[in-house]
A and B are shown apart, each in its own frame.
Chain A
Amino acid sequence: MRGPPVPEALTYQDVALQHDAATAPAVGPVSLHLCVGERVLLMGPSGAGKSTLLHAATGLFPVSIGGARHGEIVLNGRPVDSRRPADWADTCGYLFQDAAQTLAGFTVRDEIAFGPENRGVDPAEIHDFVALSMRRVGIPETWADRRITALSGGERQLVALAALLAQGAPVTLADEPAASLAPMAARRMAELLLAPGCTAMVVEHKPGPILDHVDRCIALGAGGRVMVEVPPRDVVERHGEALAEAGIALPLATRLHTAWPDLIDPRLPLSRALRRVVPAHADRLRAAILPDPIEAGPELVTLDRAACAPPFGPVVLRDVSLTVRAGEVLAILGPNGAGKSTLAGCLAGLVPLKAGTRKGAPGAVAFQNPEAHFSRESVRAEIEGLGHGPEVTGRILADWSLDRVADQHPFTLSQGQKRRLALALIAEAGRWPLLILDEPTAGLDGGTEAALARRIRELAREGRGIAVSTHDMDFALAVADRAVLLDRGGVEFCGSCPDLMRDRARLTRAGLLPPEAAPVLDWLDAAC
């Protein structure tokens, strides 16, 4: 017997969205809906129009973001055009991709109070709203008077979440909310944002950690059309191959099942599925989660008892002794604000040390903000600026999947495309023996991330030394031979990357979580 129909919180009916000056729609036409009390995961490759679709829900697109919309959007039973975008704040709350650039208040308290103030909440009650939201997110009370500018990127994202909760809108739209969060904070974010009974649509490039928290998954294809719309279990069981082909990152169990359908049952938790695997398959599983070994060459850069500080700032890391060799990939791991980006600058020799010594050739850093690397009028011009001939330029554009946007201005690319271009500019220059990639996977879809991992190993095989600063433990495990864990102002661990990933206690102390592949590591230990 069917229950009563669940009202729809948000409906897109044949919606197509086209940005000003674009020649084709960014997304659509699509028809989809979000029911009251339903949690939907929206997936898709970079540039599929997911963010644009979210912006259109309250009319921000095309009222405030220039463009054209065809089709109808209904929010909470009313056409979206019937109110101004700001009026919908009582119904729909946003969590934006880059919290650092969208916070309004001067202090944490101001920021969280912003939503209730705009709603006209009784001033006497605003403090309670603020305190409750901080408690729910786990923000310490001592943060209330901290300036927003003094927070790290991940901390700002947590404050943005608290502000969203204080806003109290019944529908939540979140655009990659966990992209800059350490794993434990990301899990907390998913638990709060996608608690049972919440009405939420979340865009996420890495659906693995949140699949258990959603009721339905919608995947957009590269053309901005709905490709798959199914419950999460069907994503794993029936559509893994198609989604992987479209460049969407899938949970490890699904990827293993797609590669070896006879080996892994995707319906079981990975640790249970592995019990049925015989030890003879150890090499295949090892190759699936760990990088091919590369013989390390001479030392490229050495830090000895270094004190590292951001440019013109105070020391954040002390007594750092570290070596990167040719042919080696080093993962730099740590919680938000641990000093990973600072270490990246010091390793490259861009930022002078406050104490200690650095020996070795200069390195290049691919910054977190890819736009810092762009200085020319088109993607092609940027690549041509590396000084290669037309043939090599064409090859680089194709290798980094930038050929279709070669004539676009770099600033008009999607976040994933920008990051690919920035990495290509660093990696293909051939000038630096040491490359440091700062959060290289942020904003990348599954296909591009896998290609990046392969490219990193190729560069290491060519004799480059590579350091990767990341929150993504599985990516670190997939590319890095060694890992350095930063916490409490220093180096907490420096050694084999798989060894660190097995050390759950150490990771937990640093606010990190073991990778998705941890059960496979355990299985390999037991089998070999």
Chain B
Amino acid sequence: MLTTLHPLPKLALCLALILASLVVFRLSFQILLFVAATLVLLIDARIPLRRLLLLMVPFALFGFGFFTTSVLFRAESGFAMQMAQEQGGGPDVAPGLVLFFRVLACGMASAVFALTTDPGRFVRALMQHLRLPAPMGFALLQAMHMVPDLRAELLQLRMARAMRLGRPLRRVPVPTEAISLAIPLLAYAIRRATRAALSFEARGLQRDGVRTTLPQPPMTRSDAIVLATGLAALLLTVWISGRLPV
């Protein structure tokens, strides 16, 4: 269902979730939000559990810093304590644990948007409804094109080097190899961007030109209903977490 939702209401809802996660400093709320976002990704967006777990790794590592200082070593950092006190956190739970789950909750809320939104449709919606300038919008789209192309180019560069050095292709490049590939990859990205810019210009894209846009699916009543339901569920979660001990 989320994949068919208009990107802008969905963005608003996800931003509301992230904002709530930042202002409500309760462990139960962060856990509920994290679980809810994960369930949405698993059930509605049908993201495989393995992929979700991999996606959580960077968020978990980031949050783990707070967790280790405040829970494992029983020495709350001044920063975490200050945040907990400023936002009404109680002394009965380690603030690091709340911060750990906050990172995970924010990460999963962002993932809900990123994994259920067509990037092209999102950029077009920004151009159509929020007046994102067309050259900037198409530059964003071009950057999205470039990610897989850069990966392919990186792979080809690595294969060419492996061949030259007479060794098999490593699955993950060692640091020295990664550093030596940075310049050629950057050069490729610059050349690629130059060619794309030339093509855009030749095909009539300009900053100040009169431009129309391909009609996009409009925002519908169901988009509004999903947005309202999502916000109501958020308020309910805040209320429920307030009733829980932590």
A98 to B203, Cβ gap below 8 A?
no
The digit string for A70-104, where 1 denotes a CB below 8 A from any CB of B, is 00000000000000111101100110101011111
B139 to chain A, nearest CB (A): 10
Is A113 on the interface with B (CB-CB < 8 A)?
Answer: yes
Q: Which of chain A's residues 248-263 have a Cβ closer than 8 Å to chain B?
A: none
Interface residues of B in 168-197 (CB under 8 A from A): 168-169, 184, 187-188, 191-192, 195-197
- Contacts A102-B196, A110-B120, A362-B166 hold; do A94 and B214 have CB atoms under 8 A apart? no
Contact in complex: B149, A94 (CB < 8 Å): no
User: Bound state CA distance, A106 and B200, in angstroms?
Assistant: 14
| A88 CB → nearest B CB, Å | 8
Which of B12-20, B45-53, B98-106, B140-148 participates in binding chain A? B140-148
CA distance A55 to B201 in the complex (A): 11
Q: Closest A residue to B144 by CB, please name it.
A: A106
Please, which residue of chain A has its CB at the minimum distance from the CB of B200?
A: A104
Q: In the bound complex, how far is the Cα of B212 from the Cα of A119, in angstroms?
A: 8
Tell me whether A106 and B123 are in contact (CB under 8 A): yes
Stretch of B2-10, B157-165, B222-230 on the interface side: B157-165
The residue from A89, A345, A348, A375 contacting B203, defined by CB atoms under 8 A apart: A89
Cβ contact within 8 Å between B201 and A431: no
- B155 within 8 Å of A by Cβ? yes
Spot the interface stretch: A32-40, A121-129, A209-217.
A121-129
Q: State A365–B197 Cα separation when bound (angstroms).
A: 31
Is A65 in the interface zone, CB < 8 Å from B?
A: yes
Residues of chain B with a CB closer than 8 A to A113's CB: 214
B209 and A123 within 8 A (CB) = no
Query: B204 touches which one: A55, A86, A127, A362 (CB < 8 A)?
Result: A86
Q: B residues touching A (Cβ–Cβ < 8 Å)?
A: 118-120, 123-124, 134, 138, 141-142, 144-145, 148-149, 153, 155-157, 159-164, 166, 168-169, 184, 187-188, 191-192, 195-206, 209-215
Question: Does A311 have its Cβ within 8 Å of any Cβ on chain B?
Answer: yes
Determine how close the nearest CB of chain B comes to the CB of A432; give it in whole angstroms: 8
A109 within 8 A of B: yes
Q: Is the CB of B188 within 8 A of A104?
A: no
Cβ–Cβ contact B160 & A123, under 8 A = no
Q: B215 to A127, Cβ gap below 8 A? A: yes
B123 surroundings in chain A (CB, below 8 A): 106
A98 to B209 alpha-carbon distance, docked (Å): 26
B204 touches A115 (CB 8 A): yes
CA distance A123 to B199 in the complex (A): 22
* Beta-carbon contact of A122 and B212 below 8 Å: yes
A175 to chain B, nearest CB (A): 11
Question: Which residues of B have CB within 8 Å of A103?
Answer: 145, 199
Residue pairs across A and B with Cβ atoms less than 8 A apart, 16 shown, are: A64-B201, A86-B209, A89-B202, A93-B203, A94-B199, A102-B196, A104-B203, A106-B141, A106-B144, A115-B203, A127-B215, A311-B169, A348-B163, A350-B163, A375-B161, A375-B164
Q: Mark A382-423, 1 if CB is under 8 A from B, else 0.
A: 000000000000000000000000000001000000000000
A48 to chain B, nearest CB (A): 20
A46 within 8 A of B: no
Contact surface of A with B, Cβ cutoff 8 Å: 55, 58, 60, 64-65, 84-87, 89-90, 93-94, 96, 98, 100-107, 109-110, 113-124, 126-127, 130, 147-149, 163, 167, 311-312, 345, 348-351, 362, 364-365, 367, 369, 371-375, 411, 431-432
- Interface pair B163/A364, CB less than 8 Å apart: yes
Structural contact, B212 and A350, CB atoms closer than 8 A = no
**Are the CB atoms of A101 and B195 closer together than 8 Å?**
yes
Task: State whether B187 touches A105 (Cβ < 8 A).
Answer: no
For the complex with contacts A86-B201, A117-B211, A375-B164, 17 further pairs of A-B residues with Cβ separation under 8 Å are: A86-B204, A96-B195, A96-B199, A101-B149, A101-B195, A102-B199, A104-B138, A104-B203, A106-B120, A118-B211, A119-B204, A120-B211, A312-B155, A350-B169, A375-B161, A411-B187, A431-B166
Chain B residues lying within 8 Å of A116, measured Cβ to Cβ, are 212
Structural contact, B215 and A124, CB atoms closer than 8 A: yes
Determine if B205 and A104 form an interchain contact, defined as CB atoms under 8 angstroms apart.
Answer: yes
Cα(A122)–Cα(B210), bound, Å: 11
CB distance from A301 to the nearest CB of B (A): 15
Kindly state the separation between the CA atoms of A106 and B123 in the bound complex, as whole angstroms: 10
Q: A106-B120, A149-B149 given as contacts; is B141 within 8 A of A365 (CB)?
A: no
Bound-complex Cα distance A55 to B163 (A): 37
CB-nearest residue of chain A to B183: A375
Separation of A406 and B161 alpha carbons in the complex (Å): 22
Q: Which of B118, B157, B199 has the most CB of A within 10 A?
A: B199
Q: B204 to chain A: which residues have CB within 8 Å?
A: 86-87, 89-90, 115, 118-119, 167
Which A residues touch B198, using CB under 8 A? Answer: 55, 60, 64-65, 102
- Complex interface: chain A residues within 8 A of B155 (CB): 311-312
In the complex, the answer to whether A60 meets B145 with C-beta atoms within 8 Å is no
| Chain A residues in 8 Å Cβ range of B142 | 104
Contact between B188 and A86, CB atoms less than 8 A apart: no
User: How many angstroms between the C-alpha atoms of A11 and B189 in the bound complex?
Assistant: 35
- The CA-CA distance from A167 to B202 in the complex, in Å, is 11
In the complex, the answer to whether A117 meets B199 with C-beta atoms within 8 Å is no
Given contacts A86-B206, A149-B148, A371-B188, contact A109 B214 (CB under 8 A): yes
User: Which of A104, A312, A345 counts the most B-chain CB atoms under 10 A from its CB?
Assistant: A104
When distances are taken between beta carbons in the complex, the residues of chain B under 8 Å from A107 are: 120
Question: Closest approach, in angstroms, between the C-beta of B36 and any C-beta of chain A?
Answer: 30
Q: B209–A118 contact, CB under 8 A?
A: yes
Query: What residues of A have a CB within 8 angstroms of the CB of B163 in the complex?
Result: 348, 350, 362, 364-365, 432
Sort A-B residue pairs by CB-CB distance and give the 5 closest, nearest first: A106-B120, A89-B204, A102-B199, A118-B204, A113-B214
Q: Which residue of B lies closest to A107 (CB)?
A: B120
Query: How far, in angstroms, from A60 to B211 measured CA to CA in the complex?
Result: 21
- Contact indicator A60/B203 (Cβ below 8 Å): no
Q: Are A167 and B203 in contact (CB under 8 A)?
A: yes
Contact of B212 among A58, A60, A64, A121 (CB under 8 A): A121
Chain B min CB distance to A102 (Å): 3
CB-based contact A118/B166 at 8 Å? no
User: What CA separation (Å) do A198 and B229 show in the bound complex?
Assistant: 56
Task: Tell me the complex Cα distance, A119–B242, Å.
Answer: 56
Assuming the contacts A89-B204, A104-B196, A350-B169, asked whether A126 and B160 have C-beta atoms less than 8 A apart, the reply is no
State how many angstroms separate the Cβ of A257 from the closest Cβ of chain B. Answer: 39
Contact (Cβ within 8 A) B145 A149: yes
Q: Given A311-B169, A350-B163, A375-B184, A126 and B212 touching (CB < 8 A)?
A: yes
